Amino acid sequence: MATKPPHNSSLPWLLIALSLLQGSLAVRFGATNNASATPGGQRFDREIGLAYTLEAMPGIANFIWTLFRQPSEGDRRHYYPDDVVNVIIQDLQDGALGETGENNVYMSAKGIETYPPGDGTRIMYTSILYHDMTHIFQWSGKGTAPGGLTEGMADYTVLKSPYYVGGYSTPGQGERWDEGYGTTSRFLEYCDSLREGFTPELNRMMREVYLPEYWNQLLGKDVDQVWREYKAKYA
């Protein structure tokens, strides 16, 4: 989910500077609602809000860094010179619930209209934030990693978070290891069972480039063999 919609840089950002739990660099988090005249944007204001978004974002960032074992600033992906991460509520036209572009997360106002009622509204919203903020901070081999792998890693974060919705994905599902989303997230979880810390290590190795040989280096087998064994386990 990396399509970046048009964006007006003159919009008044609501920004806060926060000292993160690890390291000394202050990362700023911003949020704005560009769809306040739409039903989804109005529901956002009533049931979620900018204050909740800004409160949640630092915790999600630290969860991602902890999950991917990035204790220092040098381990993490940054967006210089400002190093600001924004969440923008916008009227997306492509049917996606959320998208990322550079250091921005675009949350669909139309998607917010479809969220479950009650507590489910914020649960759904926060789950999507975990996914899309992972895209901002993960390594992707500078675009050389398979899209299904990066999407699977983003869903892996959701799977390990307090906002995973049970039943969304099950072990053994799917036809290809790089199918993405729930299928790949469960496959990565299986690889963790073969080698403790596999997924954060694979993410680290993809800082500059993705190579298929990484699977052999970490697991002693190529990815297709690991996938066959995974499918056999849950046949």
Of 75, 103, 137, the last residue of a domain is: 137
Query: Is residue 27's pLDDT more than 70?
Result: yes
167: exposed, middle or buried (C-beta count within 10 Å: 0-12, 13-18, 19+)?
Answer: exposed
Residues 124 and 146 in one domain: no
2 or 6: which carries more pLDDT confidence? 2
177 and 228 in a single domain? The answer is yes
DSSP 143: G
Nearest one of 57, 172, 170, 48 to 120, comparing CA atoms:
48
**What residues contact residue 142 under an 8 Å CB cut-off, 6+ apart?**
208, 209
Domain stop point among 91, 122, 137: 137
Residue 147, domain extent: 141-235
49 phi, psi to nearest 5 deg: 95, 155
How far are the Cα atoms of 61, 193, 204, 215 from residue 137, in angstroms, in the given order? Answer: 8, 24, 11, 22
Question: pLDDT, tens digit, for every residue of 116-166?
Answer: 999 999 999 999 999 999 999 999 999 999 999 999 999 999 999 999 988
Give 179-216 pLDDT, tens digit per residue: 999 999 999 999 999 999 999 999 999 999 999 999 99
Q: Where is the domain boundary, 111, 137, 163?
A: 137
* Overall number of domains in the chain: 2
Q: Kindly state the average pLDDT of the residues 104-117.
A: 96
Residues 78 and 2 in one domain: yes
- Are residue 160 and residue 59 in the same domain, yes or no? no
Helices (H), 138-180: 147-160
Please tell me the pTM assigned to this model.
Answer: 0.88
The amino acid present at 138, given as its one-letter code, is Q
Do 195 and 131 have their domain in common?
Answer: no
> Do 101 and 184 share a domain, yes or no?
no
Mean pLDDT over the full length of the chain: 89
